[in-house]
Amino acid sequence: MAKATKRNPWAWIPTLYFAQGIPFIFINMVTMVLFTQMGMSETDAALYTGWLYLPWVIKPFWGPIVDILRTKRWWTVTMQLCIAVGLGAIAFTLPNPDATQIAEGMSTSAFQIALFFYVFTAFCSATHDIASDGFYMIALDTNQQSMFVGIRSTFYRCASVFGQGGLVMIAGTLQEYYPTAMAWKLTVAGCSIFFAVVFIYHFFILPYPVSDKSVGGKESKTVGGILKEFGGSFVTFFKKKHVILAMLFMLLYRLPEAQVVKLCQPFLLAARDKGGLGMTAAQVGFAYGTLAIIGLTIGGIIGGICASKGGLKKWIWPMALATSLNCVAYIILSNFQPDYNTTVGQFTVWSCLVLEQFAYGFGFTAFMLFMMYFAEGPYKTSHYAICTAFMALGMMLPGMAAGWIKEDLLGNSYVNFFWWVLCCNAATWIVTGLVRRHINPEYGAKNYIEKKHEENLEKEK
C-alpha cells in the first residue's frame, strides 16, 4: 500500500502543536506546583525546575543530528513515544509521602530517580520541537505554511492553557479523593497515556513528504561532517553586528518574568498566613491557567497587529514597559491578599491575572520580532534556533535563583520578592533602549515586507 505523501493539514497540525506544548509546560511550569505541593521547598523546586530548562537552551547543538540522521517524521513520532515512556516513568518513580511528611518538608533525595526521568523527558521534548518544526516546513508548501502559522500558534497556546490550567485542576480535583502525592501520580500517568495515544495517531496520520529525507552524504553523517555542516552557522552568528548587545537583550528582556513565573503559582497556593492567597489547586488552575491565558492570547494578537502597523522600532518601548505590569499585578495581590472565597476577591484576582498576562502577551511580541530581525540572513533557521537558546538561558538562570532570592535574601516575603522583581525591570528598559537605536524603523511593518519582496525580484533579474 502506497504511503500518503500529503494529508489535509487540519488532520495533524492541531494535534502536533498541542502535543509539542504539553511536555514543555508540564516540565517547566506545572512541576513547580507539583514539587512544592509534595513538600519540596520553593528554593529547591525553583532550582531543579530551572535546570530542566537546559535541553531547550542547548538544543541548537544537536539540531543537525535531526537533519542528518533519519527523517523528520521518524524523529517526531519516535520522540512522542519516548515522551510517553518518560512521563510514565516519572509517575511511577515520584515519591509517595503522606500529609505529615509533606508538612515537615521533603528532601530532594526522595525525587532523585524521578528527576532522572524528568531530564530524559525534557531532552526528548526539545528534540521533538526541532523535528516537528522541521516537519511542518517540509510537509507544507509556502502558501500553506503562511495559512497555518496562526493555527499552530493557537494550538500551542491551547496546550499552555491545558498544562497550566487543566493539569493543575485535574490534580486539584483528584486531591479531593486521594492524597496529594497519589493525585499527582495519577495526573502524570494520564499525561503518559495521552502521549501514547498521540504517538499511535501520528504514526498512522502524518504524511510521508517526498522531501523528508536525511541530508548530506555519508561524509556528513560522521562526527566531523556534522561539525563542519553546523560550524558555519555558529561562526556567522557571532560575527553579526552588535551581537553582544543582542545577546544581552535576549538574556535580560525577560529577567523579571523569569523570576515571577517560578513563584507566581506557589504564591497563589501558599497559605494566607505565609503571605499567599490560600487558593486551592483547582482554583489556581482555573484563574491562572484558563482566564489568564485568554488575556495572554488577546495581548499577543493585539501586539502583532500593532507591530504590523508601525513596525518593531515604534512599538518596542510600549511593549517593554507593558511587561512591568506583571510585577505590579502581583504587588497588588501580595499586599492586599484578596480573599478568593468572596466575590470581590475573585474579581480582583481574575482582573490582576488577566491584566498581567495580557501585558505579557503584548510585550512578548517585541521579543519574538527582535529574534526574527536579528536572525535574518542565509542561516536564518539556525540563527533563530541560537536566539531561542539564549532566550531559554535567560529564563533558566534567574528562575533557578528565584526561590533562593525570596527565601534567603528577602526574608521569605512574597511582598518583598515582587517589589524586587519590579526593580529588575530596569535591566529590561536599559537593553531595550540600547538595541532600539540599531533596529530598522520599517522592520515588522507591511511596507518592509513589500520592499524585501521587491529587492528579491531585483536580485532574480
Q: Which residues of the chain have pLDDT under 50?
A: 146, 449, 453, 456-457, 459-461
Q: How far apart are CA 244 and CA 239, in angstroms?
A: 10
Inter-CA distances, 10 with 197, 349, 409, Å = 18, 37, 50
Which three cell numbers mark 66?
535531526
Q: Is 229-453 the same fold as 1-215? A: yes
Which CATH fold would you assign to the domain 229-453? Growth Hormone; Chain: A; (1.20.1250)
What is the reported pLDDT for 222?
59
**Contact between residue 161 and residue 289 where contact means Cβ atoms under 8 Å apart:** yes
List, as one string, the DSSP characters of 108-152.
GGGGHHHHHHHHHHHHHHHHHHHHHHHHHHHHS-HHHHHHHHHHH
pLDDT digits (tens, 9 = 90+) for 375-397: 776 666 567 778 878 888 888 88
Q: How far apart are CA 359 and CA 454, in angstroms?
A: 35
Give the count of beta carbons closer than 10 Å to the beta carbon of residue 67. 21
**Contact between residue 277 and residue 329 where contact means Cβ atoms under 8 Å apart:** no
Q: Which of 136, 418, 114 is nearest to 256 (CA)?
A: 418
What is the reported pLDDT for 428?
93
Identify the CATH number of the domain defined by range 1-215: 1.20.1250.20
Inter-CA distances, 343 with 44, 225, 339, 346, 408, Å = 35, 64, 9, 5, 35
**Contact between residue 377 and residue 239 where contact means Cβ atoms under 8 Å apart:** no
Domain ranges of the chain: 1-215, 229-453
Extended strands (E) in 140-227:
none
pLDDT digits (tens, 9 = 90+) for 182-241: 999 999 999 999 999 999 999 999 998 887 776 655 555 555 656 666 666 677 888 888
Angle subtended by helix axes 325-336 and 414-436, to nearest 10: 170
Q: How far apart are CA 319 and CA 425, in angstroms?
A: 12
What is the reported pLDDT for 129?
86
Q: How far apart are CA 375 and CA 380, in angstroms?
A: 5
